[in-house]
Structure 1
Amino acid sequence: MVSHSIGSALEYASMDDYVDTLNTRLTALSAQEC
């Protein structure tokens, strides 16, 4: 039960990193366009 919760937490953490990376790329692209 505990290991499953930790696994889910790690998945959410990696997803946050993935979203942060996408946001950074989008921001960089928008800056280049302007």
Structure 2
Amino acid sequence: MEGGPVSEVFLLSESQMERIEPFFPLAHGMPRV
């Protein structure tokens, strides 16, 4: 698997997504107004 570190970042992003969700309302691609 080339670019291993990149894959790890994505994996962490998914786990942290729930935590950063309130910080990034556009995380799901839908503006939360």
Larger Rg: 1
Structure having the higher helix fraction is 1
Same fold (TM over 0.5): no
TM-score (norm 2): 0.42
Compute the TM-score of the two structures, normalised by the length of structure 1.
0.41
